[in-house]
Amino acid sequence: MYKTTYLLSLFVALTFASARSAKAEDDTRDQFNPVQTAVVSQSIASDARAAGLGDIGVSTEPDVYSQAWNPAKYPFTISRAGFAVSYTPWLRYLTDGIALINAQGYYRLGDYQALSASVRYFTLGDVTVSGTDYTVNPYEFGVDLAYSRMLSERFSAAIALRYMYSDLSGHYDDNTTPGSAFAADIAMYWNNYLFLGRRECNLAWGLNISNIGTKINYGSDYSYFIPTTLRLGINLSVPLNEFNRFSISAEADKLLVPSLPLQGEDELYEDYQERLREDYYDKSSIAGIFTSFGDSERGFKGEMEEIRFGLGAEYVYNDKFFLRAGYHHESPMQGNRKYATFGAGFKLNVLAVDASYCCATTAGNPLDQTLRVSLMFDFDGIQELVGRRRR
């Protein structure tokens, strides 16, 4: 009981960008001050393929999982339509019941455009309220719809609309009400073939600005920023021979959310609270996007520390078997989440199965020792199988 209650309190503390009085020992610029957002579940990598590559996917080869990373990739998919479901445990080494469940799919309209959608559900399990026998079920969910179109033979763009809902108290606390927000994504994808020696390789880059939208309010006097994120990545796919292929991807992402101002060493608490309201809580989400590039109290160094990096590699045999590995880096001043990932998968005509495992290299990663699993269904393969049976 106490463990689950503690986990709920911890999650609320991490989710809310609450005003806190922090006094520096020497200089406020040296304080630990990661960018804070609400609806943290929107930032969790939902599929096992991307998770096996170090939590990257904005420029990797198009697949059914592209909705969460870059929906502009869908017009370049080989299959006409696809559907996938994924399951991601969270904090599994501490407790059971906290997990992210995701479903997504797409349908190509002709040869140049596609529609796609996804549903993301994050549950904190059954949480017993401390000192009572009352059990609540905190959860978050989001649903989105995207339209993508090829603008040339090599370039495509997409826009997605998203609704997210967050209930962290399970309707138990009258002072904390469920919050909701609306957001949009703007994404682009480009790929082209080039020769490296005698090998015809594919080079691609992707860009996605996700969760551009409203702030979210939980019934208090303040509204909180959602995780607006800029992702930029590049991918190179090299055929080794007729049956073997190797690709490597690199990606950088940054939260387009302002940093929480810190209390100065000689600043009165009342003055700090007023400055916090004016400079942070009253700021609109759009203004926050622009100020996020230059508001770190650590200056240019602090802005660079807000950028997270991922590197992934994938080996493919006969388009049927996959081996993956990746690494994700985050600055110690922004959370210090550093971890290696490993993944594998196999693909049949109808079904594909992907799995990944996270191995943290620093303490405190909620996804450490996590095994993620995704199932993908290919509608072209299903139609072919049905056609064979009819014949």
Looking at residue 391, what is its pLDDT? 58
38: pLDDT strictly greater than 60: yes
Q: In this structure, what token pair is assigned to residue 326? A: 């990746």
* Least confident piece of the model among 37-41, 105-109, 117-121, 250-254: 37-41
For residues 51 and 129, which has the higher predicted lDDT (pLDDT)? 51
172: pLDDT strictly greater than 90: no
383: pLDDT strictly greater than 80: no
From residue 242, how far is each of 27, 204, 314 by CA, in Å? Answer: 59, 21, 16
Looking at residue 380, what is its pLDDT? 74
2: pLDDT strictly greater than 50: no
Q: Provide the domain count of the chain.
A: 1
Q: Counting Cβ atoms within 10 Å, is residue 25 exposed (0-12), middle (13-18) or buried (19+)?
A: exposed
Looking at residue 229, what is its pLDDT? 96
**In 3D, which of 186, 212, 208, 185 has the Cα closest to residue 285?**
212
For residues 316 and 387, which has the higher predicted lDDT (pLDDT)? 316
Looking at residue 18, what is its pLDDT? 36
What pLDDT band is residue 6 in, cutting at 50, 70 and 90? very low
Looking at residue 13, what is its pLDDT? 47
Token pair 């080794």 is found at: 240
Domain membership of residue 81 as a residue range: 2-19+28-390
User: Could you tell me the CATH number of the domain that includes residue 174?
Assistant: 2.40.160.40
CA atoms within 13 A of residue 360's CA, in its CB half-sphere = 15
What pLDDT band is residue 104 in, cutting at 50, 70 and 90? very high
379: pLDDT strictly greater than 90: no
For residues 390 and 139, which has the higher predicted lDDT (pLDDT)? 139
Q: In this structure, what token pair is assigned to residue 85? A: 């479901």
H helical segments located in the chain: 2-15, 48-52, 269-276, 285-291, 299-305, 379-390
The gap between the terminal CA atoms of the chain, to the nearest Å, is 59
pLDDT > 90 in the chain, percent: 54
Q: Please indicate, yes or no, whether the overall pTM of this predicted structure exceeds 0.75.
A: yes
Contact between 4 and 28 under an 8 Å Cβ cutoff? The reply is: no
Looking at residue 197, what is its pLDDT? 84
Looking at residue 242, what is its pLDDT? 87
